[in-house]
Structure 1
Amino acid sequence: MSKLDVSVFFIYVVVLLAIAYIISREKVGHEKSTKDYFLAGGSLPWWAIGASLIAANISAEQIIGMSGSGFAIGLGIASYEWMAAATLIIVAKYCLPIFLKHGIYTMPEFLEHRFDRRVKTVMAVFWLGVYVFVNLTAIFWLGALAIKTITGVDNLYGMIFLAAFAAAYSLYGGLKAVAFTDIIQVVILVLGGLFLSYISLDMVSEGQGAIAGFQLLQDRVPEKFDMVLDKDHPFYANLPGISVLIGGMWIMNLSYWGFNQYIIQRALAAKTLQEGQKGIMFAAYLKLLMPVIVVLPGIAAAVLLTDLETPDAAYPMMMQFMPEGIKGLVFAALVAAIVSSLGSMTNSISTIFTMDIYAYYRPGKNQKHYVTVGRSVSLFALIVGVLCAKPLLGNFEQAFQYIQEFTGFFTPGIVALFILGMFWKQASANSALAAAIGSALFSLAFKLFWPALPFIDRVGLVFIACVLLAVFVVLVEGKKAQPDVAKLSDMSFATSQQFNLLAAGVVLVLTAFYVSWW
């Protein structure tokens, strides 16, 4: 990176920190409450929600990993992004109204409202463990690897920088600082990513423009534009044909976008239900755009850089073609994705620990006390993440795949217990626990006795098994309505005409994509 690139990046860091400080300040005489710190005071507008959802979602493992998959597999990997857009419609229409009616801070809190404290505690401890020792360490390690590839900075120093940066802009202000600065992060991410894609396609066409480059890509590597892979495709196990449209990917996306504290927390902070739904739809349209930013450069690299040692080197290597100054902007976009994910993750960790565990054992404290605990937990999580990243992930050649495999053991049970809890009155606490525990056992059984089963298909089959197990437990207990279940008859899932038009637009765009590149 040149001095100009470093200057551009430095300006980005300073501006972001300054804006975060301004946003985080409270009015004279007002102290931050837990709602202010953990849910931005319930004040987030739709554009902040949508931008923050994407900023929390897109990190180094998505940018580097999906670009690498674009190099190795092709456009098929975009199903993770495009099917997420469809999933967000369901989350906005059917999940968010239930969550907001309960007035919850966290997903474990909803489980306590619906089932009992046992379910809440089990899932709170589980999520804290996964967030700290799997997700947070992954963001640190893969983020540091990306920075080292581009700048040569040692992994440890890269992780320390990321931790300090994330703490500086998110620790004081909480979710409000994270959400509003995420707007800047997403703008930089999108602009930097689009410029990289444009340069990549222009290079493919040898200066004839991006459109000509895209057409040349389809002519020269047509196999990279198959959205639904055949069984004889070498990467069929990763994207098993039609399953990406009707199988386990729906379960993975529902778990991630609908029942994951790390993601849904910004929607819980919406001004109103309608504002939250608009924000989620904004995120859905951004998800439609993401493959252009993270997958296309990888496909272009398959033509321009045929001798790459590893697919995951595609994105960093393509960055080397950027002109001075612009390279600094694209690097800022990459770091923006990493630190925004770190800020979101640590805020969710502190929210679950403070509101679901600490407040139960230390009730009656003032709001300032709980906010201080939340800040302390965020800082502690960052330190643990840095210390544990290399020991936990440093020995894995494909850390992202390992993470997907690990979380996939529990994803089906989480989706099963939430869906049954929200939409089936008879679902009991014991049936929820059975689904959660059964998810790990069923997944392990499939892994051991049917190792050739693709990961996505296994998730779908385990979800069905978890639902059947939960139903069986309810029947054994004696079928009866649970007293604390939210009455769906009292809820309206009707959405505005604007929402319906936006949802129809997503479906039409997705249909066009899959018809064009089936």
Structure 2
Amino acid sequence: MNLSTIDISIFVIYAIALLGLALYISRNENKHERNTEDYFLAGKSLPWWAIGASLIASNISAEQIIGMSGSGYVLGLAIASYEWMAAITLIIVGKYFLPIFLKNNIYTMPQYLEQRFDSRVKTIMAVFWLAVYVFVNLTAVLWLGGLAINTISGVDLATGMIFLGLFSLAYSSYGGLKAVAYTDIIQVVLLIFGGLMLTYISLDLVSEGNGMFAGFGILTENLPGRFDMIFSSDNPHYADLPGISVLVGGMWVMNISYWGFNQYIIQRALAAKDLKEAQKGIAFAAYLKILVPFFVVLPGIAAVVLFPDLNRADEAYPSLMTLMPVGLKGLVFAALIAAIVSSLASMCNSVSTIFTMDIYSHIKKNRSQTHYVKVGRIVSVLALIIAMISAKPLLGNFDQAFQYIQEFTGFFTPGIVVIFLLGMFWKQMNSVGAISAALSSAALSFLFRAAFPELPFMDRVGVVFLCCVAIAVACSLVTKTQNSEHESQTVSLGDVNFETTVSYNILAAGIIAILTAFYSAWG
């Protein structure tokens, strides 16, 4: 094994501390029997710092750390656009989407679609999200997490996946979202500190002991192509990140779908004390997001120098961890596990929320709150078991898991974004238009992929999005008599306040200024 006794001891201390904190938080709730609002939305009591930390901890997982580092190994800093564009997206979500969702007092994204359209739209999207969370997100996190454990410690991959699943359930299944969100504060601190330490040591090794900045200078001098943020059309990796389309095309669709309408992300904001608290949490998360490439992508670029002959790009981050000194290796390993189990817990909680509140509660009506909470816990366990069984068949043959995840979800995200954006901001959008957008998104994505294989997937996402807008608008206008009074009323924005505080506006301007500087320097 590559982990020393000291490293293992550090990890064990972390695990015990995390489980102890989760148990403490879970036992110190109100004395009444835990209901669905307590379990799925943390009693709507989360403060901004817990929301922001939990957003990042839920987002940054194995597919982010290992997968994006692997993409950094191959593509370079350009892959950071996913993170930096997400920071701006979060600001937009906080200003324009959260006021609508919180006003409608919802538990889930499908629930909003039922309020806005009808049960058909809700059910279609609920089933879709359940499938994606289990067969794409959970499988990716488990597979890459198991791969990391195997590379670092020598533990069998399957054993590693089972450990991750049991660990995430141990601290999240009893306390629900509240336990997940508050323990995420520890997770994100450990994640950022451990990640930055790995970056420092990796760059120092590149410079052969002359320091981090010297190492960074060597990378920019010897690997200039790895620091191009906007690829030209003759770049061999143009298909992955197609030039200016990264800034004005399909990536916006991907990011808006993920940060605005993704249950296991937006659920933290839905659990806020109030709108202002949610918006402060969103802004906090946006600034944390800017940091991510510096401790995820940059180590992947350093690995090009330190490990030039890797068999798989996704081995870059775990391989770097083997270079860490005793003690620090245990800390960085704990940070990686922290990211993985946090995302697993968040995804399982969201799967159980959608299944219980959007599907099961409509089949088994008028059951007790305790009954629904129990069902949610059972669903979490089943989701993990299914994901473990599916992980190797689905992901075992892919070199860059992060790019695989992005391309797969890109088949469906254009329709999702169209349904929500038109549903929120265009009164004449109806359920026929929503269903047509959902079905057209998948059909057109597969059609364009087969007919135009050379078209970069991100450009395909943008084109399919525009097609879905046209189809949804046309179908809604043709069938406008089906647009019920209920649908027109729920989209009313007259009493929704989109004004944000001065501090929020200043923070938003800061995000834009920082990202403008980054793209100017490396564009």
Answer yes or no: same fold by TM over 0.5: yes
1:446-491 residue CA offsets vs partner (Å, 9 max, x unmatched): 0111110001000000000000000111221247674333311221
**SS of 1:306 mapped into structure 2:** coil
433, 436, 455: which one aligns with 2:435? 433
The answer (yes or no) to whether the contact 1:421–1:485 under 8 Å persists in 2 is no
348, 353, 356: which one aligns with 1:354? 356
333, 336, 339: which one aligns with 1:337? 339
Structure 2 counterpart of 1:324, which letter?
A: V
1:244-302 residue CA offsets vs partner (Å, 9 max, x unmatched): 10000000000000001011101100011011011011111111000000011111122
Please tell me whether residue 489 in structure 1 is matched to residue 491 in structure 2.
no
The within-5 A match list for 1:296-335 is: 296-335=298-337
The answer (yes or no) to whether the contact 2:71–2:402 under 8 Å persists in 1 is no
Structure 2 counterpart of 1:458, which letter?
A: R
The answer (yes or no) to whether the contact 1:115–1:484 under 8 Å persists in 2 is no
512, 518, 521: which one aligns with 1:516? 521
What does residue 285 of structure 1 align with? 287
The answer (yes or no) to whether the contact 1:270–1:276 under 8 Å persists in 2 is yes
The answer (yes or no) to whether the contact 2:71–2:400 under 8 Å persists in 1 is no
Please tell me whether residue 230 in structure 1 is matched to residue 232 in structure 2.
yes
What does residue 90 of structure 2 align with? 88
Structure 2 counterpart of 1:443, which letter?
A: S
The answer (yes or no) to whether the contact 1:26–1:32 under 8 Å persists in 2 is no
**SS of 2:489 mapped into structure 1:** coil
The within-5 A match list for 1:232-247 is: 232-247=234-249
Displacement, 1:306? 2.2
What does residue 216 of structure 2 align with? 214
**1:162 & 1:223 partners in 2: Cα distance?**
36
The answer (yes or no) to whether the contact 2:430–2:480 under 8 Å persists in 1 is no
**2:154 & 2:103 partners in 1: Cα distance?**
50
What does residue 498 of structure 1 align with? 503
Displacement, 1:350? 0.4
Displacement, 1:68? 1.5
Please tell me whether residue 54 in structure 1 is matched to residue 59 in structure 2.
no
The answer (yes or no) to whether the contact 2:206–2:306 under 8 Å persists in 1 is yes
375, 387, 391: which one aligns with 1:385? 387
Please tell me whether residue 127 in structure 1 is matched to residue 129 in structure 2.
yes
**2:54 & 2:181 partners in 1: Cα distance?**
5
Displacement, 1:65? 1.5
Displacement, 1:397? 4.3
Structure 2 counterpart of 1:496, which letter?
A: T
**1:369 & 1:485 partners in 2: Cα distance?**
30
Moved more, 87-96 or 203-212: 203-212
**2:369 & 2:194 partners in 1: Cα distance?**
40
Moved more, 453-462 or 138-147: 138-147
**2:414 & 2:56 partners in 1: Cα distance?**
23
Q: 1:27 to 1:307 in 2, by over 3 A?
A: closer
Please tell me whether residue 507 in structure 1 is matched to residue 512 in structure 2.
yes
**SS of 2:83 mapped into structure 1:** helix
Moved more, 88-97 or 367-376: 367-376
The answer (yes or no) to whether the contact 1:104–1:268 under 8 Å persists in 2 is yes
Question: How many residue pairs were aligned?
Answer: 518
Structure 2 counterpart of 1:212, which letter?
A: A
**1:365 & 1:316 partners in 2: Cα distance?**
47
**1:91 & 1:80 partners in 2: Cα distance?**
16
64, 67, 72: which one aligns with 2:66? 64
**2:35 & 2:344 partners in 1: Cα distance?**
22
The within-5 A match list for 1:419-430 is: 419-430=421-432
Displacement, 1:217? 1.8
What does residue 445 of structure 1 align with? 447
**SS of 2:324 mapped into structure 1:** coil
What does residue 200 of structure 1 align with? 202
Moved more, 314-323 or 184-193: 314-323
Structure 1 counterpart of 2:502, which letter?
A: Q
Q: 1:389 to 1:304 in 2, by over 3 A?
A: closer
The answer (yes or no) to whether the contact 1:49–1:279 under 8 Å persists in 2 is yes
**1:402 & 1:299 partners in 2: Cα distance?**
20
**1:170 & 1:328 partners in 2: Cα distance?**
23
Structure 2 counterpart of 1:79, which letter?
A: S
The answer (yes or no) to whether the contact 1:108–1:123 under 8 Å persists in 2 is yes
Structure 2 counterpart of 1:193, which letter?
A: G
What does residue 251 of structure 1 align with? 253
Displacement, 1:141? 1.2
**1:179 & 1:132 partners in 2: Cα distance?**
21
**1:459 & 1:55 partners in 2: Cα distance?**
27
What does residue 97 of structure 1 align with? 99
The answer (yes or no) to whether the contact 2:67–2:401 under 8 Å persists in 1 is no
Displacement, 1:210? 1.3
The answer (yes or no) to whether the contact 1:297–1:315 under 8 Å persists in 2 is yes
Please tell me whether residue 363 in structure 1 is matched to residue 368 in structure 2.
no
Structure 2 counterpart of 1:42, which letter?
A: K
461, 464, 467: which one aligns with 1:459? 461
1:146-194 residue CA offsets vs partner (Å, 9 max, x unmatched): 1111111111111110111001000000000000011111111100000
**SS of 1:490 mapped into structure 2:** coil
The answer (yes or no) to whether the contact 2:351–2:379 under 8 Å persists in 1 is yes
Please tell me whether residue 147 in structure 1 is matched to residue 152 in structure 2.
no
Q: 1:79 to 1:28 in 2, by over 3 A?
A: closer
Moved more, 461-470 or 130-139: 130-139
**1:374 & 1:14 partners in 2: Cα distance?**
25
1:412-456 residue CA offsets vs partner (Å, 9 max, x unmatched): 000000000000000000000000000011101101111100010
Q: 1:478 to 1:366 in 2, by over 3 A?
A: closer
1:33-52 residue CA offsets vs partner (Å, 9 max, x unmatched): 10000000001011111111
**2:269 & 2:492 partners in 1: Cα distance?**
22
**1:485 & 1:172 partners in 2: Cα distance?**
35
Displacement, 1:27? 4.7
The answer (yes or no) to whether the contact 1:46–1:270 under 8 Å persists in 2 is yes
Displacement, 1:28? 6.8
**TM-score w.r.t. structure 1 length?**
0.98
**Structure 1 residue ranges without an equivalent (≥5):** none
Moved more, 219-228 or 326-335: 219-228
Displacement, 1:315? 1.1
